[in-house]
Structures are given as structure tokens and as C-alpha cells.
Amino acid sequence: MTIENLYRRMLLIRRFEEKVKQLYQAGEITGAIHLYIGQEAIAVGVCSGLKDSDYVFSTHRGHGHYLAKTSDIAGAMAELMGRRSGCSHGYGGSMHMFNPVKGFMGGNGIVGGGIPLALGAAFAAKYKKTDSISVSFFGDGASNQGTFHECLNLAALKRLPFIAVCENNRYAATTPVTHATIDEDMTKRAAAYGIPALNVDGNDVEKVIEAIITAIKYVRSGKGPFLLDCKTYRIEPHCGIIADIRPEKERAEWQAPEKDPLNCIISRYPEIFNNGKITVLENEINTDIENAVMFARQSLFPDIKEFTEEFKVK
């Protein structure tokens, strides 16, 4: 994928999430909303190496993963607004976006809950002798769940085509990673289960791509699982309803232009991103997002009769 396209995808996620935040504050989107701002390089980098036939299992903070894997802006926005035209027909919501045709197998409301499911897709790929692989996104919080450890062991044991992508954004809800473990280096945990792994600067999309290419090559060749430990930071609080208690200084450091996943690409490639180019991209993305909002607003809510019939609601 070209540098321009990588940037464009990250910009889409950034502006989409900003729009979601705005609509959430206006009351047009309700519920628990976990924004992906600041982590865009990981979703875009990882998904740039995947095919539609590869599986992605996401988390509670999954809008970015969804957009990076599917490019379905309208389906995502309509889902957040609870509409029938949403990617999960309005039945799932922010944490449960699905698009199986594009290999997007759902977010998850339970921290660490999706890792075993992702393992199952890897198992199915091997069982059916396809060349598909399965990617499980999870955070530093999930790395302390039993499912993480059980699944690394099982994935290695059965040599499953499975890539574990840890997005260490430094906080599990409000608990700093340093309060949750004495060693946050996930590559060591991978090593304990005999799984190769790489530490990755999760805010640099080119570094993420370099790592995922290595991982995919290894996994697709049938050697077994791989782990990427991506260091990043979420710019927004854990979710819409929880106050942000993180130190100002820390937040400012991670938002500095050289750390920001979008700005660092712009400054690295000034010949591509002259002012005119950035304006064009911003305008195109803005139009796409406004169209998605319009589409969602004009869509109907799910039909209760259809719901009760399809799901035999009593």
C-alpha cells in the first residue's frame, strides 16, 4: 500500500472517531464508546497485510480495526446509531461490529474474551486447509487474563496460523500498566510459550507494517503463531463516561508531532504531503464521513416484528 493510502486510512479513523465523539456528546450516539484516536497506526499497519479471507477479532476499542479491515464507513456509523443498515443490523453496537464477508469477526465487550475465538478461526483455517490466518487484537489489560496465556500455549501447541497483536496503550481502563504487571514486555511472555515475537513502535505505521510482514510470512508458512507487542497510547479517556485522570504531561508527550501516528508520516514524507495534498485528503475523508452520517440518520431502526420473528423472542 502506498504511503498516501496508509495515511489516508489513518486519517479516516482519526476523523471518524472525532465525529463519533461529537455525535456522542450531542446525544445522537449513545452507550459505551471507546475511541481509537492515537492508535491508528496499529490497525492500519496490521490490516494492510491481510486479505478479506483472513480473520480479525477485535476488542471493545474496535472502530479503528473495523474501518481498517473493511473500509465500511457507512455500516460502522449506522451501527453506532443503532440502525438496521448497521454492520450488525443495529443488534451489536460499538463493541460488536461484525462483517464476516470481509473477515471481520466482531469486537468484544469482555477484555480478553475474543482471543480464544480468534484461535478458533485459526483452527478452522488449518482444519479446512486454507491459507487464511487469524489476527487477535487485545490490549495490555487483556494480557493479564487467563485466556491470553491459555491461548498462547494452545496456539503454539497446535501450530495454529494465529497472530496475537497486543496494543499496549499503557492503561487498563484507568489502571496504569505499571500497576498491573512487573514486566510489560509481551515478547517475553510469548517466548515462555515458544512463540516468536517482536517489539514494535505502535505509533509508526511503517514499523508496524515491517513487523506484520515478518509475522504473516512466518504464520502463513505453517510454522505456528506469532506475537507483536505494539507500544502506543490512547489520546482519549477509556470511554465516554469515565473521567481522564492521566497526567497532563504524559498526554502532551504522546500528542507531540513526532509521536502522533499521522503527523510523523507527514513530516517523514514532505514531498508527498504538501499542503494542497493534505487539504484534498481531508476534504475527501470529510465528505465520506458526512455521507456516512447522512446515510445512518436516514436509515430506519431495526424492525421489532422482524427482530421477534428472526430471534423467536418471547
Partner 1 sequence: MRELTFIDAMNEALAEEMERDKNVFIIGEDVDINGGVWKETNGLLERFGHERVIGTPISESAFSGLAAGAAMCGLRPVLEFMYMDFVGVAMDQLCNQIAKLHLMSGGQIKIPITIRMCGTGNGTREGAQHSQSLEAWFAHVPGFKVVMPATAKDAKGLLKSSIRDDSPVIFIENRNIYYDKEPVPEGEFMVPIGEAEIVQTGSDVTVIAVGYARRKVITALKTLDKSIGVELIDPRTVDPLDMNLILHSLAKTGKIMIVHEAHAECGIGAEIVRRIASEGFDYLDCPPIVLGGKNIPTPFSPPLEDFVLISPEEIAKNIVALAGNQIY
Pick out residues in 70-129 that bind partner 1 (CB under 8 A).
86-92, 96, 98, 100, 105-106, 108-110, 113-125, 127-128
Among 59, 70, 134, 143, binds partner 1 (CB under 8 A): 134
Does position 237 interact with partner 1 (CB under 8 A)? The reply is no
Give least dist CB 201 to partner 1, A: 30
Q: Which residues contact 191 (CB under 8 A, 6 or more apart)?
A: 197
Does position 150 interact with partner 1 (CB under 8 A)? The reply is yes
Give least dist CB 102 to partner 1, A: 11
Residue nearer to partner 1 on the CB measure, 2 or 311: 311
Does position 157 interact with partner 1 (CB under 8 A)? The reply is yes
Order of strands, sheet of 134-139, starting from the edge strand that comes earlier in the sequence: 55-57, 134-139, 162-168, 226-231, 197-201
Report long-range pairs for 66-70 (Cβ below 8 Å, ≥24 apart).
66/97, 66/99, 66/104, 66/107, 67/9, 67/12, 67/13, 67/16, 67/43, 68/9, 68/13, 68/43, 68/44, 69/43, 69/99, 69/102, 69/103, 69/104, 70/99, 70/102, 70/104
Binding mask of the shown chain, residues 251 to 270, with x at each position contacting partner 1 by CB under 8 A: --------------------
Residue nearer to partner 1 on the CB measure, 120 or 176: 120
Does position 190 interact with partner 1 (CB under 8 A)? The reply is no
Handedness of CA 250, 36, 173, 82 (dihedral sign): positive
Give the number of residues in contact with partner 1, rule: CB under 8 A: 43
Helix, strand, coil percent values for the chain (each to nearest 5):
50, 10, 40
The residues that touch partner 1, with contacts defined as CB under 8 A, are 55, 57, 86-92, 96, 98, 100, 105-106, 108-110, 113-125, 127-128, 134, 146-147, 150-151, 153-154, 157-158, 310-311
